[in-house]
Structure 1
């Protein structure tokens, strides 16, 4: 690990050598991500602990960059530690925890004070514009207000939650108008009822409800190292929603991680494309999560094991039905039922309500650390909702788990689809030696390769 020099003592002699070719290659590598950003909506939620950690300015700089690239940002902040500090300073022994708590009139005033102070800090951070800083010439308007209509939680199990509330609805038209003009929408954890009464809301609930209501591309929670990890302590970079819900039911997660993960899973289940848990302690984590292949946090997606599973001998008939029309029109090489029976363990299938509607096979070449993706098929009646992307992501993950460094495909009809997803055209000599010997030159298939 390289430790960056102290900013106060940093000099030109400490700077790494500038290599133009590396810079150009990096800039070109991130171009596809930049192209997909424009007009996408990101809902970014964080708690008051991020501000206590001194990470606010760095976050605002990164969000400013995303906004300049055309991303619509909705920022939702919490203030739990600040509210508890206000309560302590005023002599109250009560402290809010992670679970919903009744909010007294006195605690509500503390929540208002904390939320107001943080809102002003955020507005000040977005107003920076010093030369030679990331905020130079930013001129981003951040708009806060009564976008959230709240209602009381009420009485639960005989306990009156008083001024604790929940989201009732949003003024979506007003929020979309701000976003369409390049502004950032700021939501505080205070909501108002139609009668003008204020309620204390949970940041996670507001962020999740906002992402669902706006049909956001991403819901991002910036947390204090609350990503999921495997048995070896490595970050789980991607997890299916149902797997995430299973981890929550196991009861082994700490309260903070359980809360963030449950809200992420809820958002994905209700239509948000991706939900992320990202560490705010890592400088630039929100950029690293988006602009690098594996990211730095945990991403929750809708893919479920019920829909995506390894093929069995009982699936051969369904796989043959998917393959035969494409063999007949020349898209695929005829391979015969006996070949599928022999290689069935290499197939993954998409299944819904007992109907198999997609498949893909992965053929490894361990000596070359390469793998071939073949028979990527989705029934035409089921296409249009990202099923091909699902199969591709799953295949890439399988190949990485096998230790493969590259994934390649041979195709005669779908070159553009693979190019749009990061594959680059190769030649026969780029293939594993064994595959070169079996390459069917009469078909003249295009070769596409992707680094994993």
Structure 2
């Protein structure tokens, strides 16, 4: 049993390491729907956020309180009122909102204070700080509707928030803002989170909601041919948003999507919509390649490009397991640094997932494609094809008429892609002198049209 656990744990932990390094010192703004707290998800979420913070991420947590306020209103015999998707906050609703916010802040602070042995919080010290970091203004009267004590964000105290985060504390914000005259306004969690993420130019805005994500066809139920879109480029998200009806409820597809689009257009590169119903959803979204919900990005995160010297560490980490099992010939860091300009890589969100190098032999008008590697995490998704095509383009641009590979295990993959087996004697003289006859690698050649 232990050996099986080790076999699965070690590769998993290694696969997470690049994300741990990448996100250190980054800022995440997490919008937590009040429904998640009502559903009893707070204890596990607190453990996950504490773990993420312990890995060097700066966290601003903005909680919602829709169901809690409605519960307070119901207890007082007062019906909740909405218009344009915003709560109409009269005096009774404002009192209920203040009571709900106070109670939730205590619950959240208590959740981050737990430290029982044999739990993820053991030994952790999470300092939670909250305060009046949001200046608000009234919504006012819209289409004849007086929203009374409902407000909108006017200003975010970025300096104050940054100082709190630099102290190593987690910042907790309730959906309240205050005017310069001291008047309190009830805000929406979604607007506060979006405004704070935009003002801080946060690295991520993450909504933990009752919505599982955005589907390709939002008017149809989820199915195998209508899955959650794990990544939406900003342009696609904007087009989808324009086609959707106005969002008045959190269950409407456009409700969270409009905030993600707004954040991305304001400089937040990645905005996420993930389901709180899935245990560990935030860990799965942040530390697993494809995530679990929908990420809206203002750029295509996956890029196929020529390698830089800074990519050497990622290339080494990618090819090392294949060198150990004999699939690839071992290359030293010095060699890869020297030849970095010969490599092509597929990079996603700062992590190298595929690579290959082109070593030209211009005297023979051919070139060797070496170290073609695709991470096990993304095998079968076409990254190998992308790298091969780019290597072919680079070879043609260099005036080469063919490319060749040496392989001991993947001959059939190359044959399917137009390579033909030849005798090792075919190799250019310079490469033939370095050929390892004991390894008995197959030599495969592809002519470039």
Q: How high is the TM-score relative to the length of structure 2? A: 0.67
Q: 1:141 aligns to what?
A: 127
Q: Displacement of 1:55 after TM fit?
A: 0.6
Q: Distance in 2 between matches of 1:115 and 1:179?
A: 22
Structure 1 pair 200–16 and aligned structure 2 pair: CA distance change class (3 A): farther
Residues 224 and 76 of structure 1: CA distance in aligned 2, closer, same or farther (over 3 Å): same
User: How far 1:129 sits from its partner (Å)?
Assistant: 0.6
Distance 2:246 2:146 in 1: 29
Relative distance call for 1:437 and 1:85 in structure 2 (3 A) is same
- Which ranges in structure 2 are unaligned for 5 or more consecutive residues? 218-224, 307-343, 347-353, 359-376, 395-404, 432-449
Aligned-pair CA distance for 1:436: 5.0
After superposition, give the CA deviation of every residue in 1:52-111 in whole Å (9 maximum; x if it has no partner). Answer: 111111111100000000000000011011111111110112344770133111111111
Q: Report whether the alignment pairs 1:62 with 2:48.
A: yes
In the comparison of the two structures, how many residue pairs are matched?
336
Question: Displacement, 1:209?
Answer: 0.4
Alpha-carbon contact 1:372-1:407 (below 8 Å) kept: no
Q: Which residue of 2 aligns with 1:298?
A: 294
Do 1:149 and 1:191's aligned partners in 2 also have CA atoms closer than 8 Å?
yes
Counterpart selection for 1:233 from 226, 230, 236: 226
Q: Secondary structure at the match of 1:162?
A: coil
1:25 aligns with 2:11: yes
> Cα gap change, 1:30/1:398 in structure 2, threshold over 3 Å: closer, same or farther?
closer
SS, match of residue 171 in structure 2: strand
Alignment equivalent of 1:244, drawn from 237, 241, 248: 237
Residues of 2 paired with 1:197 and 1:81: CA distance? 24
Q: 3-state SS of the aligned residue for 2:19?
A: helix
Question: How much has 1:411 moved relative to structure 2?
Answer: 6.1
1:238–1:300 CA contact under 8 A, matched in 2: yes
Gaps of 5+ in 1: 1-14, 309-322, 324-359, 363-370, 376-395, 415-425, 445-452
Hey, what does 2:397 align to over in structure 1? none
Q: 1:151 to 1:374 in 2, by over 3 A?
A: farther
Structure 2 residue aligned with 1:195 = 181
TM-score when scaled to structure 1? Answer: 0.67
Q: Taking structure 1 as reference, are residues 171 and 438 closer, same or farther at Cα in structure 2, changes over 3 Å only?
A: farther
Whether the 8 Å contact between 1:373 and 1:408 is mirrored in structure 2 is yes
Residue in structure 2 matching 1:121, options 103, 107, 110: 107
Name the counterpart of 2:73: 87
Partner of 1:38: 24
Give the aligned partner of residue 196 of structure 2. 210
Q: Tell me, what secondary structure is at the counterpart of 1:299?
A: strand
Contact 1:84 1:96 in 2 (8 A): no
CA displacement 1:102-160 (0-9 Å, x = unmatched): 31111111110111111110000000011111101111100001111111122223332
